[in-house]
Amino acid sequence: MRGFALLLIVLLAACGPNAGKDTPKPPAKTELVAHETELLRITLTPEADKRLGIVVHDVGSVDAHATRLTNGEIVAAPPPGGVPVSAATDLSLLADRQAAAEAEIARSAAQAALAERTLRRAEALVAAQAGSTRSADEARAALAVANANLQVAQRQRVLLGRSPGALSGTKTLWAKASVYAGDLGQIVPSAPALVAPLGKPEAQVSARPVAAPPSADPNAATVDLYFALPADATPFRIGQRVSVALPVTQSQSRLRVPTSAIVYDIHGGTWVYVRTAPHSYQRRRVAVQSVTGDHALLARGLTPGLAVVSAGAAELFGVEFGAK
């Protein structure tokens, strides 16, 4: 009897007023696209498109200024003979190596002082005709070796740069720009670059090129260029991501998009959302050459005739990564 009552309740619930109704249609649909860390194609309902306030602009072509925009990082300028220190440096390992180098300097200095005293005694014995010339020569050679070891230890310490505790107080900063190796031949090496915080192109400052130990990233096929920031520039911090406008040998026609269409990922990469169909959008990587006012010039990534999202790109970014 109890089982029959339970079955009757289930049948009544199935025949309720909501039975047979379709589930609500989701406002956004995402589809997996190959490459670039599993891009998604976003398809919005007309209502969701209107609610997000999506606005698109056609990609236009203009004569570009003679600059190439790339991502950069603020690093600590090295002492003479040293190497720059960036936020990617393992500071704990650096501190250990600095302490070991300083201990080696102290040990080498003590050995040099002992060798010098031994040489003075040997020379005094030779002068008093109580010692051999060979002993004096051996003491002189031991002093030369000790001084050479001391110089090597001192140079090794210089290569390690400032201590991590002193980096926060340094006022001499450089901007490190990572340039694609294929574009390196187009950069004017002796011309200054324009460095600006991300999202603040109006705060850009002129930085002069400086010579630094060569560095590159073979995995990304980039070469690092360094530029010294002026002492009176807007305060920058070590590790801060910046945009660097590098001068190039000649200007050429470039595509132009609104700056509001550009979104940045956690690595400083630049992207735009392209409308592929009505209410359908897909993220694409672009290389920004320069930013002027409300528009950005692209070095690569798009083709003429496309439409990019100029309003609502950040919302689409959230929809895409919220779906992953």
The pLDDT, as a whole number, for residue 199 is 75
- The single-letter DSSP state of residue 283 is E
Angle in degrees, 0-180, between the axes of helices 133-159 and 91-127, rounded to the nearest 10:
160
Per residue in 25-57, is it b (16+ CB within 10 Å) or e — as a string? eeebbbeeeeeeeebbbbbbeeebbeebebebb
Q: Are residues 120 and 242 in the same domain?
A: no
Q: 306 lies in a domain?
A: yes
Which residues pair with residue 30 across a beta bridge? 42
Q: Are the C-beta atoms of 103 and 154 separated by less than 8 Å?
A: no
Q: Are residues 45 and 156 in the same domain?
A: no
Pairing state of beta strands 280-292 and 270-277?
antiparallel
Q: 279 lies in a domain?
A: yes
Total number of domains constituting the chain: 3
Q: Are residues 116 and 78 in the same domain?
A: no
The pLDDT, as a whole number, for residue 300 is 81
- C-alpha–C-alpha distance, residues 211 and 203, integer Å: 25
Q: 237 lies in a domain?
A: yes
The pLDDT, as a whole number, for residue 87 is 53
Q: Are residues 197 and 74 in the same domain?
A: yes
Q: Are residues 299 and 316 in the same domain?
A: yes
Task: Among 249, 276, 308, identify where a domain stops.
Answer: 249
> What is the per-residue pLDDT across 133-166, written as a single tens digit (0 to 9) for each?
888 888 889 999 999 999 998 888 877 776 666 6
Backbone dihedral angles phi then psi of residue 188, each to the nearest 5 degrees = -80, 110
Averages of pLDDT over runs of 10 residues in the chain (324 residues) are 53 53 69 60 87 86 69 78 59 75 90 90 84 85 91 84 63 83 81 84 83 80 87 77 82 79 85 90 85 78 86 87 65
The pLDDT, as a whole number, for residue 302 is 86
The pLDDT, as a whole number, for residue 21 is 55
Task: Among 249, 274, 308, identify where a domain stops.
Answer: 249
pTM to 2 decimal places:
0.44
> What is the per-residue pLDDT across 236-277, written as a single tens digit (0 to 9) for each?
887 788 888 888 876 567 788 888 889 888 877 889 999 988
CA angle, residues 272, 39, 245, in degrees to nearest 5:
35
Q: Which domain holds residue 286?
A: 24-65+251-324
Task: Among 249, 269, 299, identify where a domain stops.
Answer: 249
Q: Which tokens go with 126?
A: 């030779």
Question: What's the Cα-to-Cα distance from 142 to each of 105, 138, 224, rounded to whole Å?
Answer: 17, 6, 43
Q: Exposed (0-12), middle (13-18) or buried (19+): which is 176, by Cβ within 10 Å?
A: buried
| Helix or strand holding residue 14 (H, E) | helix 2-14
Q: Are residues 113 and 149 in the same domain?
A: yes
